[in-house]
Amino acid sequence: MHEISDFREMDEIIARHGAEARNIIAILHDTQAKYRYVPRAVFPYLSKKLGISTAKIYSVATFYENFSLEPKGKYVFKICDGTACHVRKSIPILERLRKELGLSAEKKTTDDLMFTVETVSCLGACGLAPVITLNEQVHAAMTPEKASQLIAKLKEEEEHAS
Ligand code: FES
């Protein structure tokens, strides 16, 4: 879990947008870009700085689907399960990713915060079905085998990096 021990980075984000309540979405957006999720620890801090209640910040953070209050992995897989992808067998891809990473519908992120596996309803690229994204990068015509290869490649890169 990402603990925030000092709020200098938050101060920078707030300074960039201006410490006003109307900038809360932009500030949450940059917070998420920084930490890969919106840590609840920033709510009281933002509340004090922007003069809005933590309840209001919470409602904004939970209203927008793009904000996550849970930590996410360095690599985020989104598996499209819209109609076009579903009929072209997106579920076996999802199952393969979950199995290889020890994840499930309830547990979406690995404990080492390396991988997250999520589903989405349509990525808007139905002609390329089945489609997945890996950190916003689109992978078309996926198969369970290709998904396994992707994971193996990422793990290998991580090993070389460490
Ligand atoms: S249904 Fe998967 S991209 Fe549209």
Q: Max alpha carbon distance in the chain (Å)?
A: 51
Which of 87, 91, 123 for mutating ligand 1's site (highest number of atoms within 8 Å of CB)? 123
Q: Does any ligand 1 atom lie closer than 6 A to the CB of residue 62?
A: no
CA of 138 to the centre of ligand 1 (A): 11
Sheet holding 137-139: strands in order across? 115-120, 75-80, 132-134, 137-139
Which of 77, 78, 80 for mutating ligand 1's site (highest number of atoms within 8 Å of CB)? 80
pLDDT of residue 6: 78
CA of 90 to the centre of ligand 1 (A): 10
Q: pLDDT per position in the chain (162 positions), as tens?
A: 456 767 999 999 999 999 999 999 999 999 999 988 999 999 999 999 999 999 999 999 999 888 999 999 999 999 999 999 999 999 999 999 999 999 999 999 999 999 999 999 999 999 999 999 999 899 999 999 999 999 999 999 999 887
Q: Does any ligand 1 atom lie closer than 6 A to the CB of residue 50?
A: no
Angstrom CA distances, 10 to 17, 19, 83, 142, 144, stand at: 11, 11, 40, 38, 40
pLDDT of residue 3: 62
pLDDT of residue 1: 46
CA–CA separation, 19 vs 45, rounded Å?
Answer: 11
pLDDT of residue 90: 97
